[in-house]
Amino acid sequence: MATVAANMRDEGIDVINFSVGEPDFNTPSHIIRAGKKAMDQGYTKYTAGPGMIELRNAICDKLLNENGIKFEPDDILVSNGEKQSLYTACQALFEKGDSVFVCTPYWVSFPEFIKLADAKPIYVNTISHQNYELDFDDLLDKVQDNVRGIIINSPSNPTGGVWSKEAIIKLLKIAKNRNWVIISDECYERLVYDGGFISTEKLNRDYGINAMVLTCMSLSKTYAMTGWRIGYTAGPRQIIKAMSKLQGQATSCANSIGQMAGIKALRGNQDCVEEMKKEFKKRRNLMVSLLNKLPGISCAMPQGAFYAFPDFSVYLNKSVEGKLLKDTFDISEYILQTVNVVTVPGDGFGSKGHIRFSYATSPDTIEKGIEQVKFALENII
């Protein structure tokens, strides 16, 4: 959809884009200045493979002060974005013959990371009216002897759902009993609008469960730093060591300038994070209220990230301009072709009937775009 939209833009068409997966703000200026200074001071070379010690120390301080979890620098691996962290974790942990649980709807890369490790994803349902928490009955029904782990993502892309403490504790206990690793993707940890965020590993330790947890985090969304490519993993030292060996052969180390800027991001003033979060919350409220006014559409209030995930299933198998809308790919394409609004079909996330709307865009754009979608939907019979 993004490619089609880019082509339309090239043709001079005014496209409204609700497909963005990154903050629309620029990186805060004090972080940019740190990146410029790093270059001037010659931090333009390879760094230590697992990441500069100054950055790993800053990450340990952050994990202790913000998340209440104590780690040593040797428990941390800095990567070129959290995407590399997750990919490397799957490469280090899984192999042919293994199965790994993925919660549906899922971020599109999770099943691919598992398949690239020659393992098999098993899709497990979540409960849409319960913040997309795991459906534990479905999980237990699908258990096999060769399951090695599960990837979880709260707050979630694409649903914005945030799991309760109880759901995470329940999963931690099951994982401990069955010797599964939990890969906890927490890249949207700082974008939780109602209530607080608790890291999976924090609950693991507080409740003495002692399951194997890999915590994957990122500077991308928190500090609007998607292009700087800095993410990291915190977890059991032997896994971090194996991941570090693999990463060393793949990409040597993370980008040196990004690492220096990352130190500033983590150690510097955090007001910028709160300001962006405040703005996202306003936009979330606007987006969800407008979506709920569309004919036949219902949209649950997402508690985190910057995505709304409304239910468009009333439009499935209806016709427009002689064409049958058989899935959300068809609905999203129809909306794009008719009113130039880009959305992301839920079928791509393993979810039939839903469509993802990113609200990482201005309130004016949200109002204008949803008005256009309303116009498009009125023609469907």
Ligand X SMILES: Cc1ncc(COP(=O)(O)O)c(C=O)c1O
List contacts with ligand X (CB under 6 A).
Answer: 21, 81-83, 107, 153, 157, 185, 187, 218, 220, 226, 231
Whole-number minimum distance, CB 41 to ligand X, in Å?
25
Whole-number minimum distance, CB 208 to ligand X, in Å?
28
192 three-class SS: strand
Cα distance between residue 89 and residue 151, in whole Å? 11
- Cβ closest to ligand X, residue 86 vs residue 297: 86
Query: What backbone phi and psi angles, to 5 degrees, belong to 361?
Result: -155, 170
Whole-number minimum distance, CB 137 to ligand X, in Å?
25
- Cβ closest to ligand X, residue 83 vs residue 202: 83
Taking CB atoms, the residue at the shortest distance from ligand X is 81
Cα distance between residue 224 and residue 261, in whole Å? 12
Using left for φ > 0, alpha for ψ between -120 and 50, and beta otherwise, residue 245 falls in alpha
Whole-number minimum distance, CB 21 to ligand X, in Å?
4
Whole-number minimum distance, CB 158 to ligand X, in Å?
8
DSSP letters spanning 271-309: HHHHHHHHHHHHHHHHHHHHHHTSTT-B-----BTTEE-
- The number of angstroms, rounded, from the C-alpha of 136 to the middle of its chain's C-alpha atoms is 22
- Cβ closest to ligand X, residue 94 vs residue 334: 94
- Cβ closest to ligand X, residue 85 vs residue 332: 85
Q: Please, are residues 121 and 110 in contact by the beta-carbon 8 Å criterion?
A: yes
Minimal CA–CA distance to 320: which of 334, 332, 310, 333? Answer: 334
- Cβ closest to ligand X, residue 233 vs residue 340: 233
- Cβ closest to ligand X, residue 188 vs residue 315: 188
What sign does the CA torsion over 169, 174, 176, 177 have? positive
Whole-number minimum distance, CB 38 to ligand X, in Å?
19
